[in-house]
Amino acid sequence: MSITREQLISMYRTMLTIRRFEERAVSEWAQGTIPGLIHPYIGQEAVATGVCAHLTPDDRIVSNHRGHGHCIAKGADVRRMMAEIYGKKTGYCHGKGGSMHIADFSIGMLGANGIVCAGLPIAVGAALATKLDGGDRVVVVFFGDGATNEGAFHESLNLASIWKLPIIFACENNLYGANTLIWDVMPLANLSERAAAYAMPQAAVDGNDIVAVYEVARDAVAAVRSGGGPRFLEFRTYRWRHHFEGGYFPDLRPKHEIEAWKEKCPIKRFEQKLLADGVLNYAEQETINSEILSRVEDAVRYATESSYPDPADALEGVYSE
């Protein structure tokens, strides 16, 4: 099945929106206008975009600490996202959640999570609810390579397989858990091999190739939607920035490695392909970029002009003490 011109350009817009949003968030944080921490998704844009391209608003996703890209790819409002990162009342969580806890149930975004691997049990629960409700909704949970070393990872895959739940485990293997190289802590060439222990179909692809991501996700979503049970997808990719902005420990990854991966930029690769194939021309490219920059600028303006939460509302939305 070929990808239409409209789908290609839509994915390009999504990837570029994620990149420009994250670049601006990094810049704002550096200027001291954003409180707390942010974990940029720069370099991994193809994964969220290629997977979410196959999801409907009724499908659900669960994210992790590096979740801005997943939110945008699922259709979140960048104004409310930016306001939440700023800690403003107009944000998705009224300024109480911050960067790592953005959620929008109306579009099937069940939330990001600051605890490594904590999103997987939540997603399994959502998938069980989906199966009990009937229909053909799909749940996708995004997580990093470090999460595969947690006990909750194995428990989640085991239950999903036993109950044949409609869930896709999307592992964004960016090779490092903070500064720890993946092969220093696990003896596998591909993390997807771990799914075999749970009799779960799996695949590993280049996470910086949007077409490859799109195609493997298309097949996985179709299989899960038709009742085929869970799937495990590993996307080999790389984050350009440090584990998080304002890190209190140094980035120990080799500089030459970082630069080599920047040469594999998923957006640049896709952009060159679109231009070479005549899907996009330079004028259209500039127009799209300008439109996205304007959207991001508007989001920053919206956030800065919004009010902070009222201290009197501190317990509003709190359901346990």
What confidence tens digit (pLDDT) does each residue in 263-289 have?
999 999 999 999 999 999 999 999 999
Cα(290)–Cα(285) distance, integer angstroms: 9
Residue 156 has pLDDT above 70, yes or no: yes
Strand-by-strand arrangement of the 231-236 sheet = 60-62, 139-144, 167-173, 231-236, 202-206
CA angle 203, 208, 209 (to 5 degrees): 75
Q: What is the pLDDT of residues 78-97, one digit of tens each?
A: 999 999 999 999 999 999 99
Q: Which segments within the chain are labelled E, that is strand?
A: 60-62, 139-144, 167-173, 176-177, 180-181, 202-206, 231-236
> Is 0.85 surpassed by the pTM of this model?
yes
Q: What is the pLDDT of residues 187-243, one digit of tens each?
A: 988 999 999 999 999 999 999 999 999 999 999 999 999 999 999 999 999 999 999
Map tokens 């790389």 to a residue: 238
